[in-house]
Structure 1
């Protein structure tokens, strides 16, 4: 049947009296009808968790409720004198979980006085009685007093099955990590690391009970590393460990339990390990009513597991290499950091400079810039899953270079995929090409073009920072990775066990006094990148380098040592290159660095054997110091993409005949050929304008060149190149052989040659379309006085930038402006033979040139300018013209708006724009 709430009606006599009194009161009298009433609220608790609770006595229905939240209504029988009252009230709680901690009833209004609780009943959601109880009469626990105008709260207890919450934690049992492996029955499907556990099952059984076991399945968990909360000795302060915590609180009847089994799973719910029917005596736990307990499930770590052994190996390496005194000095990790072994052994692989595979095995070991010292121990051979090993690199203590191949934020796959591109970026930073003048660079920038000859401008350098303005010679800005013979670590040896690292792909050894490499490096069958940099005491690589089958990139640079301690000799370097050329990687090697050494000979024959060699850097050696200074041609089998021979002693290049051409090497794939700062007297005739392929850059700057090979007999083969650099040589006249050979050149740099003129028809080509490729010409720091008659738009229709600054033009050279495409024109610093300023003529009408965006006429002797100043020529240099009178009214507004770049001196007579002189 349904239960209904009834109003309190027993106070009929008192109620009538109160009504009569109210009816006879004055109009302003006070209503006293509520003054004799108070309220009572009941709260229902579980007996098991009620502190000091007197037990209620169940009389019927059930002796024990399963859950308190099943009760939705409370019916209470009260007695006051001879009057009995039965009242039903709704019970409430925030939710079912909160209900187990107590229910509260609605407030009941009663006349003030003392009442006895006779009994109470609990009803479920369907108004069915589910529990009937009688309060304990001892100590008057069944008596309540209603206070007029107040609220009385009275607790009732019900016999409800006691339950609590348990949180399961997986903890590591490291008792077996003692140096001696003890087997234990286990059904592990494979070795796995503790942090791989994503889910687990746990089975529990009530102690001393015949009840069935309870199993919780697929408990989702969270791994965390934390400090050990147990008390430890002072020398273990800060000890780190890890654990796995179930993300949910689980309900169990109150009792003492033992754990009888568990199963662990990975993130895909594949079984990692299963233990059933076992005893874990130290893991018993007691569940109390309405309390939460943490239960610990021990997961044994096995000393024989390879990832544990990897951690042991790291500690052995740390100890052998003076680890206590390590102090990291690089940029990748925290300054001054060191390794820390004050943690559980499975965490020993968690160190700066160490990366692991998903199975916990060490994948990368970076010891560069930690200050390692001593012999590497045999324990290195344990790290058989190692893919990258850095024992110093060419970037240690670098002075500004950036090598993307050493960027630890890039994945190994990305670095391998972009290997050639990243190496070319590095070469652009370490082999800075001679730069063109700023006006020429600006012209290309206006057309969104680029060139190695404008690299420094793109890095933020100014022309004054790049060139000595008195001589025009480029300043020494080329960065150095490291100083030869200066060590950054004290690694003295490697063990034979390095041969165990058959999965190793990157091996860097640099900046150390190591004197010998073990022959077992020949077993590094996966090694694609091998660097031995600034290790002068090695005196070459062992012959077993021949056995390495996968080498793609080899760096043997900066091994020349010092004058007091010379490094690899010419013969030792040649023998090493020979071994590579004859070895298993002969057809695999694509990049070879051997710069900054004592190499005296060019290894032509060996280079011809390395058919895939695309990048060769032999700069800063002594090549050419033996014999006549000419180097032999490797021939057509040598197909470089980038070849750097700068800063040697080369006097010339021998050639071989191939397909009716003279060649030094195959140039079909050639992009960069750089032989600056040598002893060349002629531009070598080793290219051809009949080739279908263009070089990006050919650099012969700062030699002793006064002409071109085979130019006199008219058989010069020509060249097709974007940037052709001949600055800093001795070419007296602009060569006609380039035009006659139908060479196609986009940017030519002939600065600082002492040029006095142009050979006849030097801009007249048998194929005029070829000369049309020329769009930028840098003729600065010469002695030119005029242009040739064929320097006009008919021959050069697409000129963007022309710079004849620091020559001897006494009148403005209008010829270049014949090209409507001319974007930037520079005629700065004209001086006669006596060093006097000789250009006094302002190019009146220059504003009519619709394509011009830059005009540089600074450091001349321009006087009063009576001409329109075009706002379209928004880069204008009139600085260092001390006698100038310049009317800025045409451009003042644009200059104030930041849309006009005027280079000037505040001491100059600039009128009609006073803001410029503020």
Structure 2
């Protein structure tokens, strides 16, 4: 039946209508004069209300009721009225429902029955109140409570805590799956609770959890008594409020799941006490997840603690940039949180993946606990960057993951080599010329941070020693004394750095590190013997054994020879062996067929054997040694240069430029540098057998025995973009120096600090159509060399500081009409003996140096406006006679 279709006798219907103010009787009584009042009914659950009696079976939830039909007795008549019920929301309904207000005549009523209906007008429940009286007061509101027999229910909120009660007994493990998991991996829980009386089970499936860390006071229940204040713990909270029937419960079982809802563990016998649910109350209860001391990740954390204790951990003080200064490891927390330490990184399963204690100031003996870390990928016990003055060390790249570092290993180390090996720089005018064409080469790199005066000695033209990082042998930053042989158990270790400590030896067991690809043994001054275990490593890709000058030449030779004959010989790609005492490079280096970056600089190398055709380094540094020549094999190879970018043999004792390259190569090298040797010529130039070279930048600076411009470059059809011959003793150009089909490739020429008096006749635009810059400063020109100005692309011309054999200024000629050169942007003619200049000064030549010309008279009218606007650079002295721009002399 429908709720609004109920039967009421006609007289009662009329009376009810009268109550609502819309009907009068036959005698014409005006009911509007009678007094009215209001009544409202409130429904409550019987379990939460005293003194109720229901006549029908109980409801599951009070919120099931949407309407109440109340039958009243008044003045010997029966009245039935249906009212809607409401609450703030469904959960609030369990605490009570409120009906709409009913307008009735004042007087005394009796409540006969009440019935509840759902939203579809289906009868749910019939009830009679114990107290059935109802008094309607004139102008007032009477409230009558009705109680309903509803199953008593309450709320429960679960907190997931850690059970570590068996940590000192290492109990057996019970897992639903093979892999172990960490507490914070739990993202969802499935809980099954059982009513203690009825044994009815309720399942709460896939409840989301939230991991939180917090402090536990000593006074808090369960806090370790022997821990100091600030002890940290962690819990998982389930914010979902769950409904249960009132009663006593136990946790029957639980399942844990990770963020991908993959099962972690099933526990059918969970620990913990029961809990009780009361009607309309919220209960909080804990679910204990057992942690096992036998789990490998927990064992890892105990090993961290043992290492910390063995290496004087209580006195560690971090001095790097990765963490707060003074940082240390903290073990005042639950053991499963011990892996969260500065310098320690973990796998997703909690196992230790990386340990870097390089800048904590550790000291002592690395214990056997190191062997526990079977999942360790990286271990740093000091690195070459500990005292590094570089702003950022790309070879270490601490901000990158190991996978990314492995992918970019070669590029990062090439960048590092360019930083620690300062390329021989061109003069500032040449750097300016190239910058005007957006050309950047290693020979201009320092001008981003330094001025020409800071780079080049103005008296000699020699490059100053700019050292970007610290390589002081014997400077220690830690006190590592020994490494336990257990380190050989680290079968997944890929990167190992040991540096700047008191280590006297390494165990032979390091040869067992079968996955190790990157190894550094740097600045270990007490390690007298070469660690021969290195030679037995099967997968080495990168090796740095630099700054170990305590090794004798024989000891180092023996070690390098063993490596070049060892299992990694055809896998090794990067080798640093700088700042040592190596005198002879082993012949076995011809086995290093994959070597890409080889740095043997700053040794004492006198003897080097040909690497051969199969060795093709990308970067080769042999600087600061005692080499007198570079030999070739029977096929004419010192090494294969097809892939070579940088070939640097500076600061040695080479007498000739070695004939080891070829102009016929299909590939052009970036830079070949033989600066600061004893070179006086080229091998094969006398017999026309010099094979030439194909390179972007060719540098022979600082070779005072070189007196002639190398004509053999043209004869061999060498292809060169930039030639740097600063600070030699060049005084002449043999005929035909630029008479080559590849001369057009030349774009700049630094001939500063030589003894030139003239340029050759073939220095013409026809031979050099793409020529951008020339610097003949600090030579002996008495007449201005006009030849380069024929090159339309010429951007910079520098001819500063010309002096004769007696040191007198010898250049007085100003190149009249130079303003007509439309491509010139820089003109450097300072430190000469210019007098009155009767010539137009072009504003297009906006970098002009006329400084240190004490007798000059210079009309600045053509450039004054541009100079004032800051778009023109005039290098001058205020003592000079500058006309028509008074602002310049203020």
TM-score (norm 1): 0.88
* In the alignment, structure 1 residue 676 sits paired with structure 2 residue 641: no
Equivalent residues of 1:689, 1:743 under 8 A apart:
yes
Q: What secondary structure is seen at the aligned counterpart in 1 of 2:286?
A: strand
Supply the distance in 1 between the matched residues of 2:852 and 2:280 (Cα, whole angstroms).
91
Equivalent residues of 1:56, 1:133 under 8 A apart:
no
Equivalent residues of 1:163, 1:289 under 8 A apart:
yes
Q: What secondary structure is seen at the aligned counterpart in 1 of 2:590?
A: helix
Q: Deviation of residue 700 (structure 1)?
A: 1.3
Equivalent residues of 1:395, 1:401 under 8 A apart:
no
Supply the distance in 1 between the matched residues of 2:871 and 2:136 (Cα, whole angstroms).
91
* Number of residue pairs aligned between Structure 1 and Structure 2: 874
Equivalent residues of 1:401, 1:479 under 8 A apart:
no
Q: What secondary structure is seen at the aligned counterpart in 1 of 2:827?
A: strand
Supply the distance in 2 between the matched residues of 1:470 and 1:706 (Cα, whole angstroms).
22
Structure 1 match to 2:45: 46
Equivalent residues of 1:697, 1:724 under 8 A apart:
yes
Which of 486, 489, 497 is matched with 1:500 structurally?
489
* In the alignment, structure 1 residue 717 sits paired with structure 2 residue 675: no
Supply the distance in 1 between the matched residues of 2:829 and 2:263 (Cα, whole angstroms).
80
Supply the distance in 2 between the matched residues of 1:912 and 1:39 (Cα, whole angstroms).
105
Q: What secondary structure is seen at the aligned counterpart in 2 of 1:283?
A: coil
Structure 1 match to 2:625: 648
Q: Deviation of residue 193 (structure 1)?
A: 2.3
Moved more, 590-599 or 644-653: 644-653
Q: Kindly tell me: are residues 88 and 549 of structure 1, through their superposed partners in 2, closer, same or farther at Cα, counting changes over 3 Å?
A: same
Q: Deviation of residue 333 (structure 1)?
A: 2.1
Moved more, 606-615 or 586-595: 606-615
Q: Kindly tell me: are residues 15 and 726 of structure 1, through their superposed partners in 2, closer, same or farther at Cα, counting changes over 3 Å?
A: farther
Equivalent residues of 2:357, 2:382 under 8 A apart:
yes
Equivalent residues of 1:58, 1:131 under 8 A apart:
no
Supply the distance in 1 between the matched residues of 2:98 and 2:831 (Cα, whole angstroms).
96
* In the alignment, structure 1 residue 608 sits paired with structure 2 residue 600: no
Supply the distance in 2 between the matched residues of 1:673 and 1:465 (Cα, whole angstroms).
25
Equivalent residues of 1:401, 1:429 under 8 A apart:
no
Supply the distance in 1 between the matched residues of 2:297 and 2:520 (Cα, whole angstroms).
27
Q: Kindly tell me: are residues 75 and 907 of structure 1, through their superposed partners in 2, closer, same or farther at Cα, counting changes over 3 Å?
A: farther
Supply the distance in 1 between the matched residues of 2:591 and 2:767 (Cα, whole angstroms).
44
Equivalent residues of 1:8, 1:110 under 8 A apart:
no
Q: Kindly tell me: are residues 917 and 259 of structure 1, through their superposed partners in 2, closer, same or farther at Cα, counting changes over 3 Å?
A: farther
Structure 1 match to 2:3: 2
Structure 1 match to 2:562: 579
Q: Give a deviation string over 1:228-277, Cα, whole Å, max 9, x none.
A: 4735448432222233333533221122210111122334433322223x
Q: Deviation of residue 97 (structure 1)?
A: 2.4
Structure 2 match to 1:99: 93
* In the alignment, structure 1 residue 529 sits paired with structure 2 residue 518: yes
Supply the distance in 2 between the matched residues of 1:406 and 1:467 (Cα, whole angstroms).
31
Supply the distance in 1 between the matched residues of 2:77 and 2:798 (Cα, whole angstroms).
118
* In the alignment, structure 1 residue 546 sits paired with structure 2 residue 535: yes
* In the alignment, structure 1 residue 818 sits paired with structure 2 residue 818: no
Q: Deviation of residue 701 (structure 1)?
A: 1.2
Q: What secondary structure is seen at the aligned counterpart in 2 of 1:577?
A: helix
* In the alignment, structure 1 residue 125 sits paired with structure 2 residue 119: yes
Q: Deviation of residue 407 (structure 1)?
A: 1.5
Equivalent residues of 2:192, 2:253 under 8 A apart:
yes
Q: Give a deviation string over 1:36-91, Cα, whole Å, max 9, x none.
A: 87766554443434xxx4333334xx342221222223445678888987654332
Structure 2 match to 1:26: none
Structure 2 match to 1:73: 67
Supply the distance in 1 between the matched residues of 2:391 and 2:610 (Cα, whole angstroms).
32
Which of 765, 779, 784 is matched with 1:807 structurally?
779
TM-score (norm 2): 0.90
Which of 196, 203, 222 is matched with 1:207 structurally?
196
* In the alignment, structure 1 residue 218 sits paired with structure 2 residue 206: yes
Q: Give a deviation string over 1:679-727, Cα, whole Å, max 9, x none.
A: 2233223323233332211111122323223333433332222111111
Equivalent residues of 1:396, 1:482 under 8 A apart:
no
Q: Deviation of residue 483 (structure 1)?
A: 1.9
Supply the distance in 2 between the matched residues of 1:456 and 1:538 (Cα, whole angstroms).
37
Which of 301, 305, 327 is matched with 1:311 structurally?
301
Moved more, 397-406 or 250-259: 397-406
* In the alignment, structure 1 residue 621 sits paired with structure 2 residue 603: yes
Q: Deviation of residue 582 (structure 1)?
A: 1.7
Structure 1 match to 2:576: 593
Q: What secondary structure is seen at the aligned counterpart in 2 of 1:215?
A: strand
Structure 2 match to 1:24: none
* In the alignment, structure 1 residue 751 sits paired with structure 2 residue 726: yes
Which of 763, 768, 771 is matched with 2:738 structurally?
763
Q: Kindly tell me: are residues 493 and 87 of structure 1, through their superposed partners in 2, closer, same or farther at Cα, counting changes over 3 Å?
A: same
Q: Kindly tell me: are residues 9 and 903 of structure 1, through their superposed partners in 2, closer, same or farther at Cα, counting changes over 3 Å?
A: farther
Q: Kindly tell me: are residues 713 and 11 of structure 1, through their superposed partners in 2, closer, same or farther at Cα, counting changes over 3 Å?
A: closer
Q: Which consecutive unaligned segments of at least 5 residues does structure 1 have?
A: 22-32, 561-566, 625-629
Q: Kindly tell me: are residues 15 and 537 of structure 1, through their superposed partners in 2, closer, same or farther at Cα, counting changes over 3 Å?
A: farther
Q: Deviation of residue 838 (structure 1)?
A: 4.0
Equivalent residues of 2:152, 2:279 under 8 A apart:
yes
Q: How does 1:355-370 map to 2 (within 5 A)?
A: 355-370=345-360
Equivalent residues of 1:373, 1:489 under 8 A apart:
yes
Moved more, 374-383 or 607-616: 607-616
Supply the distance in 1 between the matched residues of 2:138 and 2:731 (Cα, whole angstroms).
120
Q: Deviation of residue 378 (structure 1)?
A: 0.3
* In the alignment, structure 1 residue 568 sits paired with structure 2 residue 551: yes
Q: What secondary structure is seen at the aligned counterpart in 1 of 2:547?
A: coil
Q: Kindly tell me: are residues 259 and 13 of structure 1, through their superposed partners in 2, closer, same or farther at Cα, counting changes over 3 Å?
A: closer
Supply the distance in 2 between the matched residues of 1:895 and 1:83 (Cα, whole angstroms).
111
Q: Which consecutive unaligned segments of at least 5 residues does structure 2 have?
A: 7-12
Q: Deviation of residue 118 (structure 1)?
A: 6.5
Equivalent residues of 1:537, 1:568 under 8 A apart:
no
Supply the distance in 2 between the matched residues of 1:273 and 1:517 (Cα, whole angstroms).
42
Supply the distance in 1 between the matched residues of 2:444 and 2:102 (Cα, whole angstroms).
91
Which of 770, 793, 796 is matched with 1:798 structurally?
770
